[in-house]
Structure 1
Amino acid sequence: MSTYIGIDAGTSMVKAAAFDERGRTLRVESRPVSLDLHDGRAEQDMDEVFGAVSEVLSALTGAVGGPVALIGLTGQGDGVWLVDGEGRPVRSAISWMDGRAHELLDAWHSSGVVESVFRRTGSAMFPGCPGPVLAWLDRHEPAALDAAASAVYCKDMVFQRLTGVRATDVSDASMPFLDPRERAYSGEVLESLGLARRRGLLPRISDPVAVAEVTAEGTGALGARIANGPYDLPACALGAGVTAPGDGLLIVGTCLAALVAVDALALDGEPAGLHISTDRAGHWLRAMPAMVGTAALDWVLAITGVAHTEVDGLLDAAPPGAHGVRVLPYFAPSGERAPFVEPRLRAELTGVSLESSRADLIRATCEGIAFAARHCLSAAGLSGTLAICGGGTRSSAWTRLFADVLGRPLRIVEGEVGARGAVLAAAERYGVGLDTAGWTAPTAVVEPDPGRADFYAKAYDDHLERLAAARARARAV
């Protein structure tokens, strides 16, 4: 029996999953990785990330035995991972959660640069994306850029360390330098960001995705075929079977990502989100990857001393509306990036009294995140079916709440969806025929409750009004 392995190098966890030919999960190995957060900055140790990849891959191949048919690779997007010619770190990786470039981005907003880049690429920059981060480094740490051979993304660093091949793909390149019509870096965009002289740092775009054999020892996979697939958001879309125009995916993870498959670029309206190029020309994912997500709930749980195992019970203990408690869940130090860009936006908690309970606070937080999801999906143009995945779906009560707030059925896709999508991308690239429909079939469908859906439709309007007021206050700072 052939084994297919998907690797997902995430922000807080590195995972590897083994699947059989029918897409059934055989085994999963995972290792946590640290994130250094301080003074609005977020950095990661590349050697730690790659070490975690090596560990999970070695453990997985040792446990499943037998031949590995192929390996698909995915990982977190955005940020800047400066490496030398061997793919080794020049400095710590700057994460997509980093906020150090917010003042530079403010200036670009005021001068119209952000809007002009969006009209060209369909991607709205935020502090942690490569454009502002590279420009910040060029101004404050030029020696680091001088010493680097490449400014890559997480999975590209891993791929180079595993195979010796330096390359990225069209999905990672989509933010913010890729012209989505030409599927190539835009010299005009680089010039407008003051980065034309740093163009040599950008890795070659492999279209379709790059393939090679694993050459790194200590991985248990020497000689195995591997593909440097799309990054985690489009990989999850593949793993959830979201490819038909109008269909969407909601990923309830560290960040809250809303994706809708589209066959046309929408470059008008408020610059926000991005158009992720896929392996098919003329096909994109309209993405609204919000900063808000499970990290917001995790913070509230830590502050209140509530365990994850208690969430379902507390959600059931408070009614819709949480007795008037409201949470705008924008806890990220770099503000929000979708479906709008507001670097100084911060979380707000209102309607609390001495009568409020922990259940009210937990439910209000989960409702606020679900309202943010509705905002993102609306802005992305959802018109078809909706799949949902991610760590947040492990809470059945929260998943039902999402269905009620969104007012539509949810196709539940369980397991390591990103790793599954990475395998499917690798199989497509290598010409290996897999039953994609079987691999991506939902495990359940959750229907909304009509009464609660009506309640939340009105509550959503209130959420938008409070959000507009909060954004106005953030701009006034």
Structure 2
Amino acid sequence: MFVGLDMGTSVAKAVAYAEDGTALRAESTSLSLGGRGEHVEQDVEEVVRAATDVLAAVTGGRTPALVALTGQGDGLWLVDTGGRPVRPALSWMDGRAGDLVGRWMADGTADHLYRRTGNVLFPGSPGPLLAWLDRNEPASLDAATTAACCKDVLHLRLTGERGTDLSDASVPFLDPRTRAYSPDALTALGLGHRAELLPPIATTLPYGEARGRTPGLPDGTPVTSGPYDLPACAIGAGVTEPGDGLLIVGTTLACQVVVERVAFDDEPVGFHLATARPDRHLRALPAMTGTVALDWVLGITGSSHDQVSALLGDTPRGARGVAALPYLSPSGERAPFVDPTARAEFTGLDLRASRADLVRAMCEAIAFAARHCLEAAGLTGELAVCGGGTRSLGWLRLFADVLGRPLRVARGPETGARGAVLAGIASRGPAFGRGVDVAAWTAPEVVVDPDPAGVEFYDRAYIDYLFRVASARERWQGPADTR
């Protein structure tokens, strides 16, 4: 039995898998977010308790051959030598460093960093958050010994081992040429004196053995950490060849394409996440929009998730002229462009607009955002899809029409947990998982084909969407200075 543990933003999920990839049992529990305004934080101890609870529930008294961790990336989790928090974790959704990012974009620092690392800056990534704390809350950094990401804090608590993997190390400090932290990147953000806070990077994955009488996890159980949820989902969906991509329709709209080189000289956009192979990177464009934007519209219209397919059927393509931009995050947008001032909008409204029109307009806008990201990432091959948004067949068909290609729905449950297990097995050597058939573990559950009429309609509508995005970006910058 192999166990994958995926510590998401709002849910902790654990799945026990048989050797053939069949899910034996899945457990989950909700997680809360705190803070106020632009400050979005999480209680580290609540996250640790949730992890141990779902582990105990899913193992059911059996000893797993491996526990493989994955989880939300970015943010900033400050802990001491024992993995105890020195303050609440700063979420990847946190916007307090928005002004810093805007300043770095204006003075060329962000562009310089991209040319060094292949990654853009956004307010919720570790670099800007570290820099904000260094300026505004240095005592927290002084008290910490490690500035980590979620899964690595959990690994430290379970095993006592301090470290991170190449995927979480990538943003924003990894030099992909050396596969080590870039001193130049740290200096550019004024953080050279905080370098010791960064955990060591494991050449494969951080590995340790459970200790400390964790409920449901006997001492000595092998535990691996990583990759984080985006690349873990790619592995779980079988996305490994150059040109192939993965769309995660989750809280965020995470778009990834496998590439063979880092596009240092291209327009700065998105991230290049290092993998176990030096000649393979995931070009990731994780938008800040996703199901969170649909949730908001469902809330204001008094609708529920199980009504989405029916609502999509109650209004035609184009939502009778109602259109939306899906940028509802308080910290703006990070892909396929970075703009902390990005905001959502509806256009084409009049008294005849129905709740179905509003829901369809937002579903279409989110799908357009996915196409925008995947085109920027260089998608040329097959496309897999996973995430909570795929539960709506009507929305999945809409995605296929907007994207103009078949969608390979990844095998469930929990593609990220599945990918973490496969990555953990691979990191331990071929003998460890000799009975595991990777192709069977990653075969799609179903393939959703596009409707040619829908593809033709949305090809035209997508041009209008791009025009509305460009117009909105001019408005977000405010009126021109005419003095």
The code of the aligned residue for 2:42 comes to Q
Corresponding residue of 2:472: 470
Matched, 1:305 2:302: yes
* Residue aligning to 2:462: 460
Q: How do 1:88-237 and structure 2 match up within 5 A?
A: 88-222=84-218, 223-237=220-234
Which residue number in structure 2 is paired with residue 42 of structure 1?
40
- Say yes or no: does 1:21 pair with 2:19: yes
Alignment partner, residue 428 of structure 1: 426
Q: Distance in 2 between matches of 1:456 and 1:5?
A: 41
Q: Is the deviation greater in 133-142 or in 258-267?
A: 258-267
Retained in 2: the 8 A contact 1:36–1:42?
Answer: yes
Match of 1:56 among 47, 54, 57: 54
One-letter amino acid of the counterpart of residue 418, structure 1: G
Once the two structures are superposed, residues 19-65 of structure 1 have per-residue CA deviations (whole angstroms, 9 ceiling, x without a partner) of 10110111111010001252112100000001000000011111xx5
* 1:309–1:370 distance in 2 versus 1, CA, 3 Å: same
Is the contact between residue 270 and residue 340 of structure 1 (CA under 8 Å) also seen in structure 2? no
Identity percentage of aligned residues: 58
SS, match of residue 476 in structure 1: coil
Residue 416 (1) aligns with residue 450 (2):
no
Q: Which residue of 1 aligns with 2:380?
A: 383
1: CA distance between counterparts of 2:64 and 2:38? 42
Q: TM-score, length-normalised on structure 2?
A: 0.97
Shift of 1:67: 3.6
- The answer as to whether partners of 1:156 and 1:166 remain within 8 angstroms in 2 is yes
Deviation at 1:340, TM superposition (A): 0.6
- TM normalised by structure 1 equals 0.98
Residues 216 and 363 (structure 1), Cα distance of their counterparts in 2 relative to 1, 3 Å cut: farther
Farther off after superposition, 262-271 or 11-20: 262-271
Do residues 283 (structure 1) and 280 (structure 2) align? yes
SS at match of 2:306: helix
How much does 1:350 deviate?
A: 0.7
How far the C-alpha of 1:270 sits from its partner, in A, is 2.5
Shift of 1:218: 3.4
Post-superposition Cα deviations, 1:107-136, rounded to whole Å, max 9, x if no partner, equal 101110000000110000100001111000
AA at the equivalent of 1:439: W
What amino acid is the match of 2:406? Answer: P
Instruction: Determine the C-alpha separation between the residues in 2 that align with 1:113 and 1:396.
Output: 43
Q: For 1:240-261, what per-residue CA distance to the aligned partner results, in whole angstroms no more than 9, with x for missing partners?
A: 0000000000000000000001
CA distance in 1, matches of 2:212, 2:424: 19
- Check if 1:30 corresponds to 2:28: yes
| Alpha-carbon distance in 1 for matches of 2:468, 2:315 | 22
| Stretches (4+) displaced over 4 A | none
Partner of 2:447: 445
For the residues of structure 2 that align with 1:24 and 1:192, how far apart are their CA atoms?
47
Instruction: Indicate the SS of the match to 1:388.
Output: strand
Q: Is the 8 A contact 1:82 1:151 kept in 2?
A: yes
Deviation at 1:279, TM superposition (A): 1.0
Alignment match, 1:398: 395
- RMSD, aligned CA: 0.9
The more displaced of 394-403 and 34-43 is 34-43
Q: Which moved more, 1:76-85 or 1:207-216?
A: 207-216
Q: Distance in 2 between matches of 1:429 and 1:173?
A: 17
What is aligned with 1:317?
Answer: 314
- The secondary structure found in structure 2 opposite 1:68 is coil
Cα deviation for residue 269 of structure 1 reads 2.9
CA drift of 1:217 comes to 2.0
Q: Which amino acid aligns with 1:16?
A: A
CA contact (8 A) 2:63 2:217 kept: no
SS at match of 1:354: coil
Letter in 2 for 1:99: G
What is the aligned partner in structure 2 of residue 328 from structure 1?
Answer: 325
